Structure 1
């Protein structure tokens, strides 16, 4: 009988590990997609800059102000969304900790799971910090590259579309989080 319990516990731990691996994979895919979009946008804007630079000199000052304002707003929005995603992730970790307390007889195995979860969270935070640093560097580069270009109005539309994609991804992650919370509640009711 204790062997069955151990097998169930091992299956639960494996399931949690797979869920966390899937989450980490999704974060990596989001990062790759975002970097690809930024590279494509940069290439397109550089070619447009060469073609229209001479006709844009009279509107340079207004464009710089608009760009700075919109970049700051976009950065703030992205930072806010990243903070919300971190909070959601932290909330999920806390729920896992509460679940561990309810399984007192399985505490040793659950402690190993908690340590693995914390390592994954640290890795995600490290990657998130790297992503934040890259976003900051990209914001500076974008400001320098596009500060003299009225074509920023076209870039603004692309950034808004990117924001909408990020919102959809975050909504998907939030839905996934709610599904996990429902699964946890179901497990609590079974106990």
Structure 2
């Protein structure tokens, strides 16, 4: 009986050893799958980081362009105001010259009548 008991214990230990080896193999496979998934996630995160970097660069470029456009619009508005003021002065000058011309023509007519 003791030999049978030992044999039974040895058989059970062999079964446990086989089960342990299978468990290890399955665990390694699962860990490999998990590692592969982490690598894939890392790659995706790298791609997202690169996209965010490109978006950030584009946003900076757009912001710079908006600032330049704003400055140019301010200059254009100032130039427009200067042109309007200049045109108003020229209109006044033309009115004055027209009035003088009419006055001079009237004086010339008056002088011609007096002669």
TM-score (norm 2): 0.40
Larger radius of gyration: 2
